[in-house]
Amino acid sequence: MNNHSHLLTSLNPAQRQAVLCSDGPVLILAGAGSGKTRVLTHRVAYLLEQKGVKPWQILAVTFTNKAANEMKERILQLSNGGGREAWIGTFHSICARILRAEAERLGYGKNFLIFDREDQKRFIKNVMNELNVSEKDFQPEAILNAISGAKNAFVSSSEYQAIAKAPFEYTVARIYPLYQSLLKQNNVMDFDDLLVNPLFLFQQYPEVLEHYQNKFSYILVDEFQDTNRTQYIFLKYLSGRHKNLCVVGDDDQAIYRWRGADIQNILSLEKDFPECKIFHLEQNYRSTRSILNAANSIVKNNQFRREKTLWTEKEDGEKVTILELDDAFSEALTIIGVIKDELVENGRNFSDFAILYRTNAQSRVLEDALRQAAIPYVVVGSVKFYERKEIKDVLAYLRLICNANDSISFKRVINFPLRGIGDASVLKLEEFAKAHAISLLAAAARVEEVNAIAPRIRKSIFEFQQLIAKYASLRRELSAGELAQTLVDEIGILRAFKEINTEESFSRMENVRELLLAIANYAKSNKGSNLETFLEEVALLTDIDTWDDQSNAVTLMTLHSAKGLEFPVVFITGLEEGLFPLSRTFDDIADLEEERRLFYVGTTRAQEKLFISWAAVRPRFGDSFHNLPSRFLKELDPQFIERKNLRRLYHFRSEKPVAEEMVKNEEDDLRDGYSQIVLGGEVKHELFGVGKVIKLEGRGENMKVNVRFYDVGEKRLVVKYANLEVLH
């Protein structure tokens, strides 16, 4: 069998048609698990093998690095290695690659750095200071979000100025241009600039646009429903000449509206490319019939969607199980019980399981329980290795070595490890730098001229500058791994952590070692790499990339991270009003529909078994909330679900305790101090202050009270979690 027939026989007729229709614009709009990603990878292999397209003429884009790597692997496999030189990556990495080559035209250096959110916030604060905008009036985070939103909608600072109409927007309009020029001064781009700057480039330099338009004869995009305006325009530009743009997506899985994704792009595509061929795939290959039908019964509650059919040849399978639980802790224990049963009875691996949740904070209880049960697990996203302080400190050194203009990194490490250089001295150095229009590092080289700084400190600053200069010149002679290792040795931070000699400092030491290992491994496995490319890679890491899917472990992640993935057994936790759907979404139908799509994404990750849980009590923001089950649970078609009520503790109203239990409860009450809480008594709560107990219910662990707090009014609390102090 030659590759040609092999490529096509593993597809169903609709999928095959979509692959064969290789020229001209194509939109593949289809439900979850219908083989969209599969069509995309087969299409690339088909272009390479059958159409004689060269790999470097192909651009394939998706949203996470993980998805991009998976795509790359699948394409390499299908094309027997033929696709190695295709451009396959995330929007951000593809744009960064173009900008690396062209940034100078826009007034940046080629070695520009990429800022993460924390760095961005610091710049915003700088500008706010300069403009005398108080953080009491406007939150830097909110301003940053507004600017980011504008960039994702391809609204420049001058355009923003023209359309601002509320006080907050006027403030943003003043900050936006200054923030932008501060970035440029420091030779830095933020994440959004990576997407926006190529568009400016294409607008200002038609010959550059033409070059890339000619180069990419075939462009393919996965998860198209989550592209924002800027990304859409980018695609439109690049496909302008050949018009071989193939996008796949599912409007029911659009979950990034809050980050500027625009589902209207699907409509725009049909308008901008009237000759666009549309394909629908209707067979789902991923899930059992029960799971698929349950998922369909949810999403059909959305008003704003395109109707579509999705069916499966698979068997019914087990019904979807709804677990009703007392609290987050029993939720975790119940999930662990199911995992253990499945391991024994169905011979599964740990890696067959995924536990999904709406908010990151939900992972901690699950993690604790998994650890105690000795079940290996990985948390996607929460590890955030590269956001730890010690890691950022070392990275700041490396950034400064690569980019002398990086004032943020300069300030981060000028006194790390301690060199006796205080903020006041740095401020004076900054004034000098400003007066001479030079970078902080250049100012440090001339620190002798800054008389306002004490001679001893001048010496330290000068030594620091010499250190950085030395490594900057060694950069071309040493590998990235050697350079980082030597630098860390020279500045002695490992030793410093060791001297502190606490558990925390040891873990920091381990983290820095881990970083050195990561750099060394990176240098080894990426030919032609250097420190800059490593730093770029780090800056582009998204949450999903910390996931080591090779290890045999249960996966924990947010529903957003689970997009595009599949697992034999899936748990979706925390189906409670206020948590999922998240409470901010109650008033806005569009927000609520997005939450529902997110639930749909979660349910359609499951291949064989799906468990959905809700807990009556869940501590949030340090307080306990008494929850109602999520409205989404009522929307699930009862035919395809089975409810398991595992609630025991909080059924005090309907269940009268037997005498024996009453005695036991009395004892518990005395031991735990519950009995000290009496009707009419005063109690104190950490957050709410002092109040009077106006209602008591249940006993012992189950005891709940209504307290009328003098400051904040009536609250209903579970005594066990509320940590009340009895005043009398």
Binding site for ligand ATP (CB under 6 A): 10-12, 15, 32-38, 250, 253, 285-286, 564, 566, 604
Whether residue 116 contacts residue 123, with contact meaning beta carbons closer than 8 Å, is answered with no
Whether residue 440 contacts residue 491, with contact meaning beta carbons closer than 8 Å, is answered with no
Active-site residue flag, 303:
no
Nearer CB in complex with ligand ATP: 35/83:
35
Q: State the minimum distance, in angstroms, from the CB of residue 322 to ligand ATP.
A: 22
Nearer CB in complex with ligand ATP: 280/392:
280
Active-site residue flag, 36:
yes
Q: State the minimum distance, in angstroms, from the CB of residue 189 to Mg ion.
A: 29
Nearer CB in complex with Mg ion: 70/701:
70
Partner that binds at residue 396, options Mg ion, ligand ATP, none, CB closer than 5 to 8 Å by kind:
none
Partner that binds at residue 363, options Mg ion, ligand ATP, none, CB closer than 5 to 8 Å by kind:
none
Buried b or exposed e, range 426-454, using 16+ CB within 10 angstroms: bebbeebbeeeebbbbebbbebeebeebe
Q: State the minimum distance, in angstroms, from the CB of residue 253 to ligand ATP.
A: 6
Active-site residue flag, 253:
yes
Using DSSP's 3-state secondary structure scheme, residue 571 falls into: strand
Nearer CB in complex with ligand ATP: 39/718:
39
Measuring CA to CA, which residue among 405, 525, 321, 408 is closest to residue 119? 408
Query: Which region among 183-191, 294-302, 561-569, 694-702 touches Mg ion (by CB under 5 A)?
Result: 561-569
List the beta strands (DSSP E) in 266-338: 277-279, 320-327
Instruction: Check 41, 62, 253, 573 and give the catalytic one.
Output: 253
Active-site residue flag, 359:
no
Nearer CB in complex with Mg ion: 306/695:
306
Partner that binds at residue 32, options ligand ATP, Mg ion, none, CB closer than 5 to 8 Å by kind:
ligand ATP
Partner that binds at residue 174, options ligand ATP, Mg ion, none, CB closer than 5 to 8 Å by kind:
none
Whether residue 572 contacts residue 603, with contact meaning beta carbons closer than 8 Å, is answered with yes
- Omega before 274 within 30 of 0, i.e. cis: no
Looking at residue 576, the DSSP 8-state letter turns out to be B
Chain CA centroid to CA 264, Å? 23
Partner that binds at residue 318, options Mg ion, ligand ATP, none, CB closer than 5 to 8 Å by kind:
none
Site residues for Mg ion, window 8-47 (CB under 5 A)?
A: 36-37
Nearer CB in complex with ligand ATP: 568/629:
568
Cα separation, 226 vs 209, in Å, equals 24
Nearer CB in complex with Mg ion: 285/311:
285
Whether residue 696 contacts residue 679, with contact meaning beta carbons closer than 8 Å, is answered with yes
Instruction: Check 72, 286, 319, 605 and give the catalytic one.
Output: 605
Using DSSP's 3-state secondary structure scheme, residue 382 falls into: coil
Q: State the minimum distance, in angstroms, from the CB of residue 246 to Mg ion.
A: 14
# residues near Mg ion by CB under 5 A: 3
Active-site residue flag, 647:
no
Cα separation, 153 vs 600, in Å, equals 26
What are the structure tokens assigned to 709, written together? 């707090």
Among 89, 481, 564, 602, interactor with Mg ion by CB under 5 A: 564
Q: State the minimum distance, in angstroms, from the CB of residue 38 to Mg ion.
A: 8
Cα separation, 310 vs 283, in Å, equals 6
Partner that binds at residue 505, options Mg ion, ligand ATP, none, CB closer than 5 to 8 Å by kind:
none
Measuring CA to CA, which residue among 107, 120, 52, 104 is closest to residue 82? 52
Active-site residue flag, 37:
yes
Q: State the minimum distance, in angstroms, from the CB of residue 563 to Mg ion.
A: 8
429 residue type, one letter: L
List the beta strands (DSSP E) in 54-167: 58-62, 87-90, 113-115
Q: State the minimum distance, in angstroms, from the CB of residue 2 to ligand ATP.
A: 19
Cα separation, 400 vs 624, in Å, equals 46
Cα separation, 118 vs 141, in Å, equals 10
Residues that bind Mg ion (CB under 5 A): 36-37, 564
Q: Catalytic residue numbers? A: 36-37, 222-223, 253, 605
